[in-house]
Structure 1
């Protein structure tokens, strides 16, 4: 019994970062649903229409577009950051590789092919398409998630936009028509600019500021010019 308890405690401790942020995500998503439902029904009441139940709101296009438009901007941020940091550097930032290491690096540095170790992922030691695919798998998956969430946003956005058009007794639009509207690009670009600003701020501020114990920060005593060093 004690051993099982220790195993559970060890699992939570070893995965605390993922579990904490995963739980926090679900809590915030639930709070967003509650707040969004209240706001949506306020507008429905103003328009003289029947409010939706909470369950109906969760399956509505309005809730779907609000969620997906945030997801796609987050995945875009990581997709651009993952590929951008291959070639782009920032002297003094722990978010950057050392200036002279810009590029894809050789197989020895990447522990690929003949340089793979016993604990390396199996595909890293191959010399065919599997190695090439695995070597780009993180960026590829992030890019795919961005495209899928962007597509979900555009589809849900079309439905939400058309619902609003019908309430105002105006003509509806097709998916292609909605993607060309200012409403779609306003929703999209306001999220993109905030994500790009956050990345730029993190890169620059981490040159001069520190957070003791965080791998996202340089050691407290590291020089401002030290690049690619984590705490």
Structure 2
């Protein structure tokens, strides 16, 4: 068991941090939502009631959509684009293992089954990482629209204004402001990491080049 935990520590710790921060978001969000409701003559809500509100759904998925968009785009862009000297880039002008044709690989017992199967299954598997990330982005994008429309309609009704559908809400400046304010921060973080890894190091991290490696060396 200890060995399994060590072998999967990076995933386990990040999953644990996600759950801890999500719980914090829910608890503080419910408290904040209740305060706002009471300030306008409404009633406080429970944690479960808060999780059914458009405000919670919108806040959650507008953040998830930006994360999955960033990762999906990053996976795809690193196939074609390079950054000389960055640990986040494939080597410039040199063949990389990621570009090797799996159809020419030696088949072994440990070879992933889609590679053994070949054909359309392998074609999909070759792009399965970006497919998953884009699917998660689209799902989060849709949930953001649904939750946002619900929260928007609550505000509209409180001001005697008509409600809107999720599609109509997607045509509002508010929806796109919420999206763009998250998207820009994600790509800023990627740009900083790509550029900083040319000159800066973090000993022991696979996201960094070896400390003594020259700045102009690209990839690993």
Pairwise TM-score range, normalised by the shorter structure: over 0.9
| Residue in structure 2 matched with residue 48 of structure 1 by the alignment | 41
What displacement does 1:156 show? Answer: 0.9
Instruction: Kindly indicate whether residue 52 of structure 2 is the aligned counterpart of residue 59 of structure 1.
Output: yes
Q: Which has the higher relative contact order, 1 or 2, with Cα contacts under 8 A spaced 6 or more apart? A: 2
Report the Cα distance in structure 1 between the residues aligned to 2:83 and 2:107, rounded to whole angstroms.
30
Report the Cα distance in structure 1 between the residues aligned to 2:155 and 2:44, rounded to whole angstroms.
14
TM-score, scaled relative to structure 2: 0.94
Q: 2:139 aligns with which of 148, 155, 163?
A: 148
What displacement does 1:125 show? Answer: 3.5
| Residue in structure 2 matched with residue 4 of structure 1 by the alignment | none
Deviation sequence 1:161-184 (CA, Å, 0-9, x none): 101111222211122210011110
Structure 2 residues not aligned, in runs of 5+? none
Deviation sequence 1:25-46 (CA, Å, 0-9, x none): 0000000111111111121122
| RMSD (Å) for aligned C-alpha atoms | 1.5
SS of the residue corresponding to residue 2 of structure 2 reads helix
Indicate if the aligned counterparts of 1:116 and 1:124 stay in contact, CA closer than 8 A.
no
Instruction: Kindly indicate whether residue 120 of structure 2 is the aligned counterpart of residue 129 of structure 1.
Output: yes
Once the two structures are overlaid, the 10-residue window that deviates more, 123-132 or 197-206, is: 123-132
| Residue in structure 1 matched with residue 99 of structure 2 by the alignment | 105
Instruction: Kindly indicate whether residue 24 of structure 2 is the aligned counterpart of residue 31 of structure 1.
Output: yes
Alpha-carbon distance change, 151 to 102 in structure 1, aligned in 2, over 3 angstroms: farther
Structure 1 residues not aligned, in runs of 5+? 1-7
Report the Cα distance in structure 2 between the residues aligned to 1:123 and 1:59, rounded to whole angstroms.
40
Report the Cα distance in structure 2 between the residues aligned to 1:38 and 1:168, rounded to whole angstroms.
23
Report the Cα distance in structure 2 between the residues aligned to 1:87 and 1:45, rounded to whole angstroms.
53
Indicate if the aligned counterparts of 1:88 and 1:102 stay in contact, CA closer than 8 A.
no
Report the Cα distance in structure 2 between the residues aligned to 1:174 and 1:55, rounded to whole angstroms.
24
1:60-75 paired onto structure 2 within 5 Å: 60-75=53-68
| Residue in structure 1 matched with residue 215 of structure 2 by the alignment | 224
| Residue in structure 1 matched with residue 165 of structure 2 by the alignment | 174
What displacement does 1:141 show? Answer: 0.7
What displacement does 1:105 show? Answer: 2.8
TM-score, scaled relative to structure 1: 0.90
List structure 1 segments (4+ residues) > 3 angstroms apart after TM superposition: 101-104
Report the Cα distance in structure 2 between the residues aligned to 1:59 and 1:18, rounded to whole angstroms.
29
| Residue in structure 2 matched with residue 160 of structure 1 by the alignment | 151
Report the Cα distance in structure 2 between the residues aligned to 1:139 and 1:211, rounded to whole angstroms.
27
